[in-house]
Structure 1
């Protein structure tokens, strides 16, 4: 499947790939070193130079502990552009940010009804996922908010993904952002 995507995508197209829930939600990085390694290998073999980032999104129940932080860092292959998205606000602390920066891991900026609306620009990449606020997956982002995102990020080296796609909002927001950036 990834090889097919690679062959069909334009030459300069880049993919970000989200890790399977088995790794992040079910096993939560416990006893899945082989799964993680196999996942990286499949992504690299299938997408080659078109692989941009690997996203690891954890569930809302996955709260911060120092042990979990170290476990995440020790299980990531730091040769890849790793992005970690948390859904529990306990991860929004300098200890996490400092550890990620030291290991060249990107802390995902996320627009989510229950999370801080921080746009992080001091990690290896700007990586933003817009899920819809106030209604997850449905709410559209007004032009003023898209202009704010554009101005905060300067979109020099990064990715913005719209996940408010349960309606047409994500498509319309993506087109609007493209219009105001180009």
Structure 2
């Protein structure tokens, strides 16, 4: 059966306290609370800076069995280097502790900047560098440079698993058959991005899974999804899973706190696939 995961992009949002997060819930319990309401979460701190193996291990241990994290690739790779000459940067990223997630490691997300146009040669060179198994990721991680000290490095995978990659494009030049054909050839998912019409929305599957990011359909990062809109996304997801495709869907409309509630509402429409047990943590100290 196809796997369906629904969650949120990040979980540390002070404005959610007293809303999604109950009053009195200690901050260190927020990940555990969110993970018990949802079935996956994107780690987005990894986009801004290299994390530590101890952090990934902590996040792994704070979430229920069967939970899955997606990990957002570093902006140094996508926005600064713009996918060019990034082998060492990729080695540093995978050496920074991603493998500590073990069997909770889901897809790796690579979000491209809005001004990066489709260039077949550039993209082909980049995706050829991406490890396709955790073992390959460990081998690549061993080619890190001295940017990471030895106590901040993990280059051994505890379990041998396939690695999936998704690319979120934001320049209209990617909305062409050549881009989808290239992604399909390499088994890379082009993200289905709902961005209130600002960026391209490519819904053609190009891998054995579909990666959806829901940033808001009316106001980017801010608007909530109506019942009708959620019904529509649930129908799309059922269509993809009927075709045998796994689906990972993340709500990023966090500005006004809609994301977790929309994610739970979508899970409810899908019959709560893979949902964990109710939160059993302690509220308050």
Shift of residue 128, structure 1, vs aligned partner: 0.2
* Runs of 4+ residues over 6 Å off in structure 1: none
Cα offset for 1:43?
Answer: 4.7
Partner of residue 143, structure 1: 227
Which of the pair has the greater relative contact order for Cα pairs under 8 Å at 6+ separation?
2
Aligned residue among 114, 119, 122 for 1:60: 114
Q: Matches of 2:185 and 2:81 in 1, distance apart?
A: 25
In structure 1, what is the equivalent of residue 259 of structure 2?
170
| TM-score between the two structures when normalised by the length of structure 2 | 0.60
Unmatched segments (≥5 aa) in structure 2:
1-54, 134-162, 272-285
Higher mean C-alpha deviation, range 92-101 or range 16-25: 92-101
Give the aligned partner of residue 71 of structure 1. Answer: 125
Of 120, 123, 128 in structure 1, the residue corresponding to residue 207 of structure 2 is 123
Residue 7 in structure 1 maps to residue 90 in structure 2? no
**Residues 94 and 120 from structure 1, CA distance in 2 versus in 1: closer, same or farther, beyond 3 angstroms?**
same
Is structure 2 residue 186 aligned with structure 1 residue 108?
A: no
Higher Rg of the two aligned structures: 2
Q: Which residue of 1 aligns with 2:180?
A: 97
Q: How many Å apart are 1:11 and its aligned residue? A: 1.3
Calculate the TM-score normalised by the size of structure 1. Answer: 0.91
Partners in 2 of 1:98 and 1:118 — Cα distance? Answer: 12
1:44, 1:92 → 2: CA distance?
A: 31
SS at match of 1:48: helix
- Pairwise CA RMSD of aligned residues? 1.7
SS at match of 2:254: coil
Distance 1:95 1:103 in 2: 13
Q: Distance in 2 between matches of 1:118 and 1:143?
A: 23
Q: Is the 8 A contact 1:78 1:104 kept in 2?
A: no
Alpha-carbon distance in structure 1 between the residues aligned to 2:187 and 2:96:
22
Q: Answer whether contact 1:86 1:108 (CA < 8 A) is retained.
A: yes
Give the alignment partner of residue 84 of structure 2, picking from 30, 37, 48: 30
> 1:163 & 1:48 partners in 2: Cα distance?
25
1:134 aligns with 2:218: yes
Q: Which moved more, 1:130-139 or 1:43-52?
A: 43-52
Q: Give the CA deviation at 1:180.
A: 1.1
